[in-house]
Structure 1
Amino acid sequence: MPTVVEIPQWRGSSSPTAPRLVEGAARLAAMIPGAEHVRVETGGTLAETADRVRRALPPDGFVVTVGGDCGVELEPVTAALRRHGDRLNLVWFDAHGDMNSPETSPSGAFHGMILRTLQGEGPADLVRSPALRPDQIALAGTRALDPAEADYIRRAGIGDLSTVDEDAVLYVHVDLDVLDGITSVGYPEPGGLSPERLTEAVAALAARHEIIGLGITEYAPCDPRDEEMLRRLVPELVRLCAGSGPWQIERRAVNAWPARYTEERGGWLLRHTPGVHRRRSNSALPLFGARADIPAMEAFYAEPALPAIVQVSPAEQHADLDALLAARGYAREARTLVMTADTATVLTAADDQLDDQTGDRAGVEVVHDQARWAALFEAVHGHADDMPVIQRITSKAVLLAKGVAGLGLAVAEDGWTGLFCMATHPGHRREGVARAVVAAAARWSDEQGAPRLYLQVEEDNLPARALYEGLGFTASHGYHYRVRGE
Structure 2
Amino acid sequence: MDPNETLERQCADAWPPVAEDKVGDWRLRAAGGFTGRANSALAIGDPGVGVPEALDRVCDFAHVHAVPPMVQVVEGSRTERAIEAAGWVPHVQHAKGHLVSVLVSPLTDGAAHAREDVTIRSAPTPAWWELAAGTAEPGSAQRHVLTTGEIGYGDAASGAGAVRAAVVEDVLHVSCLAVRPEHRRRGLAKALLAASGAWAAGRGATRCALQVSVDNAPALALYAALGFREHHRYRYWIPAWKDRSL
Measured against the shorter chain, the TM-score band is: 0.7 to 0.9
Structure 2 counterpart of 1:272? 30
3-state SS, counterpart of residue 102 of structure 2? strand
Shift in Å, 1:381:
4.8
Q: Which among 310, 316, 322 is matched to residue 76 of structure 2?
A: 316
Q: 2:151 aligns with which of 397, 413, 427?
A: 397
Note closer, same or farther for the CA distance 1:340–1:304 as it changes in structure 2 (3 Å cut). closer
Measured against aligned partners, the alpha-carbon deviations of 1:65-86 in whole angstroms (never above 9, x if no partner) come to: xxxxxxxxxxxxxxxxxxxxxx
Distance 1:429 1:322, change over 3 A: farther
| Greater helix content | 1
Q: CA, structure 1 residues 388+429, in 2 after alignment: closer, same or farther (shift >3 Å)?
A: same
1:434-468 deviation line (CA, Å, top 9, x unaligned): 11111111111222221111011111111111111
Matches of 2:204 and 2:234 in 1, distance apart? Answer: 28
Matches within 5 A, 1:20-419: 206=1, 244-265=2-23, 267-274=25-32, 276-290=33-47, 292=51, 293-312=54-73, 314-317=74-77, 318-324=79-85, 327-329=87-89, 331-332=91-92, 333=94, 334=97, 335-344=99-108, 347=109, 351=112, 354=113, 361-368=115-122, 370=123, 372-379=124-131, 381-384=133-136, 385=138, 386-391=142-147, 393-394=148-149, 396-403=150-157, 404-419=159-174
Quote the offset at 1:311 in angstroms.
1.1
1: CA distance between counterparts of 2:162 and 2:21?
32
In 1, the alpha carbon distance for the partners of 2:132 and 2:171 equals 26
TM-score, scaled relative to structure 1? 0.44
The equivalent position to 2:213 in structure 1, one of 437, 458, 480, is 458
Deviation track 1:120-156 (CA, whole Å, cap 9, x = no partner) reads xxxxxxxxxxxxxxxxxxxxxxxxxxxxxxxxxxxxx
Change (3 A) 1:331 1:398: closer
Work out the number of aligned pairs and report it: 227
Report how far residue 303 of structure 1 moved: 3.4
Larger radius of gyration: 1
> What amino acid sits opposite 2:226 in the alignment?
L
Change (3 A) 1:252 1:328: closer
1:471 CA displacement: 1.1
Judged with a 3 Å threshold, the aligned counterparts in structure 2 of structure 1 residues 411 and 304 are, in CA distance, closer, same or farther, namely: closer
Given the two structures, how large is their TM-score scaled by the length of structure 2? 0.83
Matched AA of 2:180: H
Q: Provide the rounded CA distance (Å) in 1 between the counterparts of 2:66 and 2:167.
A: 34
- Select the structure that is richer in strand: 2
Provide the secondary structure at the position in 2 that maps to 1:316.
coil
Given residue 248 of structure 1, which amino acid in structure 2 is its aligned partner? T
Partner letter of residue 45 of structure 2? F
Q: Is the 8 A contact 1:311 1:482 kept in 2?
A: yes
Aligned equivalents of 2:45, 2:24: Cα separation in 1: 12
Partner secondary structure for residue 219 of structure 2? helix
Q: Cα RMSD (Å) of the superposition? A: 2.2
| Contact kept? 1:411, 1:419, Cα under 8 Å | yes
Q: Percent identity?
A: 28
CA distance in 2, matches of 1:381, 1:303: 26
In structure 1, give the amino acid aligned to 2:225: G
> Could you list the per-position Cα deviations for residues 247-304 of structure 1 after superposition, in whole angstroms to 9, with x for gaps in the alignment?
2221122221111110012552101123x42111111111324453222222222334
Distance in 1, matches of 2:43 and 2:71, equals 8
CA contact (8 A) 1:380 1:405 kept: no
Instruction: Please list every run of 5 or more consecutive structure 1 residues that lacks an aligned counterpart in the other structure.
Output: 1-205, 207-243, 355-359
Q: Distance between the aligned counterparts of 1:432 and 1:466, measured in 2?
A: 14
AA in 1 matched with 2:145: V
Pairing 1:479–2:231 present: no
The letter for the 1-side match of 2:91 is: A
Larger relative contact order (CA 8 Å, sep ≥ 6): 2
Unaligned runs of 5+ residues in structure 2 are: none
Contact 2:88 2:238 in 1 (8 A): no
